[in-house]
């Protein structure tokens, strides 16, 4: 017996076979990713009918929200929610592992929640509608394309620049060039923020911090020397 569901994106009524209950599908009209409900077995957690606001906490303890349940499902389809994340809602204030809500649909690593990770790709063998016609199981006029399952994309992190920042800090001291120290300081601050947000490879954190400290110390020393020289020059002029 077909399962009737409402798309969380465009609110269209969609029908799929009951053998696909609990699996992930895409709306053919608005491309919203949603999970076909399983009426035979209740999931661990069901979103309340009042559509509460949801919040997500990343492994770095950063909290995002409030968002709707449909927005959480979009983050899931783009690989932004991992098993290490935690979720809560207005009516469920305790943080719970994301696996309690999405189970085996989670990716092993999380991408930044506010940076697009690209379009997902699905294999034809993973598509429960691959062996059907274009409109099989769907109401007439709902569109010519059947929904397809989407695999979570692999998360991407930018490569670190720790070696470059450390070299700039060392050269700033070696050649007594404060400009290189300033560059190392600024680049180090920027890259450390990217690492904290999960958008850059953290393996270079130690090198980045070392180059940043060298650049910062050199810059501050040059500023102190400049202030002292200006003060001495002012006293000489007065004398």
Mean pLDDT in residue range 4-16? 77
Task: Give the pLDDT confidence score for residue 105 in this predicted structure.
Answer: 67
Task: Give the pLDDT confidence score for residue 136 in this predicted structure.
Answer: 39
Q: Which residues of 194-232 are buried (b: 16+ CB within 10 A; e: fewer)?
A: bbeebbbbbebbebbbbbbebbbebbeebeeeeeeeeee
Q: Give residue for tokens 């999960």.
A: 198
136-173 residue pLDDT tens: 333 434 344 444 444 444 456 789 999 999 999 999 89
- CA 209, CA 203: separation in Å to the nearest integer? 11
**Domain definitions of the chain by residue range:** 3-126, 162-238
175 neighbors 130 (Cβ within 8 angstroms): no
Output 13 or 142, whichever has higher pLDDT. Answer: 13
Answer yes or no: is pLDDT of 36 > 90. Answer: no
| E strand or H helix at 186 | helix 178-196
| E strand or H helix at 5 | strand 3-6
Mean pLDDT in residue range 201-229? 92
The number of residues in the chain equals: 239
């Amino acid at each position: 017996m077909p399962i009737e569901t409402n798309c969380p994106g465009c609110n269209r009524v969609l029908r799929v076979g009951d053998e696909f209950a609990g699996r992930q599908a895409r709306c053919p009209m608005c491309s919203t990713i949603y999970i076909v409900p399983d009426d035979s077995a209740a999931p661990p957690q069901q979103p309340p009918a009042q559509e509460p606001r949801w919040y997500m906490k990343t492994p770095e303890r950063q909290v995002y929200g409030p968002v709707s349940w449909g927005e959480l499902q979009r983050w899931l389809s783009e690989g932004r929610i991992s098993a290490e994340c935690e979720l809560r809602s207005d009516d469920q204030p305790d943080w719970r592992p994301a696996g309690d809500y999405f189970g085996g649909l989670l990716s092993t690593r999380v991408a930044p929640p506010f940076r697009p990770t690209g379009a997902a790709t699905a294999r034809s063998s993973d598509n429960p509608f691959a062996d059907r016609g274009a409109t099989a199981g769907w109401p007439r006029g709902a569109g010519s394309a059947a929904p397809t399952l989407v695999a979570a994309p692999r998360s991407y992190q930018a490569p670190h620049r720790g070696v470059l920042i450390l070299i700039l800090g060392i050269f700033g001291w070696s050649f007594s060039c404060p400009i290189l120290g300033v560059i190392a300081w600024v680049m180090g601050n920027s890259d450390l923020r990217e690492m904290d947000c999960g958008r850059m490879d953290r393996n270079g954190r130690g090198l980045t911090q070392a180059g940043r400290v060298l650049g910062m110390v050199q810059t501050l020393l040059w500023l102190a020397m400049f202030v002292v020289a200006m003060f001495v020059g002012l006293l000489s002029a007065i004398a």
